[in-house]
């Protein structure tokens, strides 16, 4: 069954598989002391900044935790949207492993603004309260919305005035860049982002997640944090080789742009079928829409997707780098047959 449940459900791009195969020759040193990892570091400096340092990890949760650990002490507070991945979907790991308090901010579109954050920043220097230190945001957000560069810049400038850090979860950063028609640098370094969780697993890679630091003090202890957090690869070359293939010829952009295009196609086809309520704009590869309960039940017999909010019968549809127009048409055909 072809899935609209998550871009994690997709397979591995052939170019990524070939890169793994090509790296699977002879012996090289472990733990990142190899030509592939060295080449990846140079590529990251070329794409992002000379001050950028990449630390590959096993998974997105691990990348987020390591990034946050670099930013905080246990007496600090980490702010995030109320639907943030670190708050909802990481089983309490960020609080457990950083010791810092997570503070969730209500948001209707998954995005945080300075005006929304400012009322929470009232405990500086007060020893009885966790000290504000980091804002975590996702690009793309959990609701499929996107921050524009000027929005990120405004947030970063505000945080830096308060000696705080901006951590961006970029599990779908490539999709945002494709929509905005910006480079990866233009929506991170140039906007004042301090530390980035950058992923490719959702966009054609096998196990491709990482932390990219843009400040020397955040990179200083990262290799120890990564090891202590059980996120250090032994055979690092296979992760580095994937990222190198991902960056080559802008494969990251080609894959993301296709996923976004399929989301727009799917949404437009659903709109043609009936007057369904879309609860968020479709700005990347995520669609949130309300279906009647009976229709959800029937659709799930033929197509996999998640019910995002059972209380209001809202479902989430996610397209991938390998979603085809045939996949879209099959979903629409089932939809037409059941309305």
Q: What is the CATH classification number for the domain harbouring 149?
A: 3.40.640.10
Last residue of a domain, one of 198, 218, 250: 250
Residue range 97-106, pLDDT digits in tens: 999 999 999 9
Same domain? For 307 and 190 the reply is: no
Strand order in the sheet with 314-318: 277-278, 286-290, 314-318, 306-309
What is the CATH number for 298?
A: 3.90.1150.10
Same domain? For 184 and 266 the reply is: no
Domain that holds residue 299: 251-338
Tokens 């702010």: give the residue. 79
The predicted pLDDT at position 165 comes to 98
Does residue 281 lie within any of the structural domains? yes
Same domain? For 269 and 212 the reply is: no
Does residue 215 lie within any of the structural domains? yes
Same domain? For 159 and 246 the reply is: yes
Contact 123, 129 (CB under 8 A): yes
Same domain? For 102 and 169 the reply is: yes
Rounded to the nearest 10 degrees, how much is the dihedral formed by the CA atoms of 224, 193, 144, 249? -80
Q: What's the structural domain count of the chain?
A: 2
Residue range 179-226, pLDDT digits in tens: 999 999 999 999 999 999 999 999 999 988 999 999 999 999 999 999
Same domain? For 19 and 38 the reply is: yes
Average pLDDT of 87-99? 96
Same domain? For 191 and 269 the reply is: no
Last residue of a domain, one of 221, 250, 279: 250
Give dist(CA 76, CA 78) in Å, integer.
7
Same domain? For 166 and 228 the reply is: yes
> pLDDT above 90 covers what percent of the chain?
98
Give dist(CA 36, CA 111) in Å, integer.
36
* pTM (global) more than 0.85: yes
Query: Across all residues in the chain, what is the average pLDDT?
Result: 97
CA distances to 32, 174, 272, 325 from 320, in Å: 30, 12, 22, 12
Average pLDDT of 300-304? 96
Tokens 């894959």: give the residue. 255
Residue range 118-168, pLDDT digits in tens: 999 988 999 999 999 999 999 999 999 999 999 999 999 999 999 999 999
Cis peptide before 332 (omega within 30 of 0): no
Does residue 234 lie within any of the structural domains? yes
Same domain? For 25 and 92 the reply is: yes
Same domain? For 171 and 285 the reply is: no
End-to-end Cα, the chain, rounded Å: 22
Residue range 9-41, pLDDT digits in tens: 999 999 999 999 999 999 999 999 999 999 999
Last residue of a domain, one of 183, 217, 250: 250
Same domain? For 62 and 84 the reply is: yes
Average pLDDT of 73-90? 97
Please state the φ and ψ torsions of residue 33, each to the nearest 5 degrees.
Answer: -95, 65
pLDDT at 1 over 80: no
């Amino acid at each position: 069954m072809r899935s609209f449940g998550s871009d994690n459900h997709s397979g591995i791009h052939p170019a990524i598989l070939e890169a793994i195969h090509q790296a699977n020759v002879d012996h090289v040193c472990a733990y990142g002391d190899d030509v592939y990892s060295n080449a990846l570091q140079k590529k990251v400096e070329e794409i992002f900044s000379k001050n950028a340092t990449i630390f590959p990890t096993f998974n997105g949760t691990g990348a987020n935790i390591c990034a946050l650990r670099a930013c905080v002490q246990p007496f600090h507070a980490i702010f995030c949207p109320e639907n943030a991945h670190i708050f909802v979907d990481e089983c309490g790991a960020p609080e457990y492993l950083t010791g810092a308090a997570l503070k969730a901010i209500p948001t209707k579109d998954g995005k945080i603004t300075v005006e929304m954050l400012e009322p929470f920043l009232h405990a500086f220097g007060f020893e009885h309260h966790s000290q504000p230190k980091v804002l975590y945001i996702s690009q793309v957000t959990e609701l499929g919305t996107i921050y524009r560069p000027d929005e990120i810049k405004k947030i970063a400038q505000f945080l830096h005035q308060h000696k705080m850090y901006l951590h961006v979860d970029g599990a779908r950063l490539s999709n945002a860049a494709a929509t905005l028609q910006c480079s990866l640098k233009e929506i991170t370094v140039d906007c004042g982002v301090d530390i980035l969780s950058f992923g490719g697993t959702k966009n054609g890679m096998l196990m491709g997640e990482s932390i990219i630091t843009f400040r020397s003090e955040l990179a200083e202890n990262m290799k120890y944090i990564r090891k202590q957090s059980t996120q250090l690869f032994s055979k690092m070359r296979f992760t580095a080789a994937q990222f190198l293939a991902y960056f080559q010829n802008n494969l990251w952009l080609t894959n993301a742009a296709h996923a976004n295009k399929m989301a727009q196609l799917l949404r437009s086809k659903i709109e043609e079928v009936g007057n369904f309520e879309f609860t968020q704009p479709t700005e990347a590869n995520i669609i949130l829409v309300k279906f009647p309960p009976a229709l959800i039940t029937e659709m799930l017999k033929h197509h996999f997707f998640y019910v995002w909010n059972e209380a209001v019968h809202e479902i989430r549809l996610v397209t991938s780098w390998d979603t085809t127009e045939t996949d879209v048409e099959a979903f629409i055909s089932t939809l037409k047959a059941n309305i």
